[in-house]
Amino acid sequence: MESRVKETIVRHDKGYNCAQAVACTYCDLFGYKEEDVFRMTEGFGLGMGCMAGTCGALSGAVLLAGLKNSDGQINAPKTKGKTYKLSRQLLERFQERCGSTICAELKGVTTGTPVHSCADCIKDAAAIVEEVLLGGENE
């Protein structure tokens, strides 16, 4: 698969939030319509709670882990453990690359010194999606 990292920035520049930019870029690979995923991820932007929570780019990546792995069996789900493992891998790699998973910390809200820009968080989350979810590491 050709990398789509640059496409995430195009979406962000069009007004998508960080979660939407990541999740919408790859959702077709998991059988979902961009419009649906756009709506699903709207509340994940700005660090869920005006920068207080998890970075939207990482949230979008974790949503993709569920889209990729979940068996959708609502009466007897059997895939949660593997999905949690994929989510943990995404989180750990994001933490290593970006220095935090919390939007306010990444933006330097309390310190006045940004650690990572939104564009860099988006690009890193997208690269991690390609490595962990699309790179065959977990097949």
List pLDDT tens digits, range 36-64: 999 999 999 888 877 779 999 999 999 99
Which residues constitute the domain of residue 16?
5-132
Residue 101 counted as domain residue: yes
Residue 125 counted as domain residue: yes
Predicted pLDDT of residue 136: 52
Residues 6+ apart with CB under 8 A from 78: 71
Residue 77 counted as domain residue: yes
* Confidence category of residue 139, pLDDT binned at 50, 70, 90: very low
Count the Cβ atoms, other than its own, within 10 Å of residue 32: 17
Residues of the chain with pLDDT > 90, as a percent, come to 87
Contact 65, 133 (CB under 8 A): yes
Predicted pLDDT of residue 138: 42
Q: Report the distance separating Cα 8 and Cα 14, nearest Å.
A: 10
Residue 45 counted as domain residue: yes
Contact 5, 109 (CB under 8 A): no
Residue 139 counted as domain residue: no
Count the Cβ atoms, other than its own, within 10 Å of residue 131: 14
Count the Cβ atoms, other than its own, within 10 Å of residue 39: 11
Residue 33 counted as domain residue: yes
Counting the structural domains of the chain, the total is: 1
Predicted pLDDT of residue 39: 98
Question: Tokens 């910390």 correspond to what residue?
Answer: 105
Residue 138 counted as domain residue: no
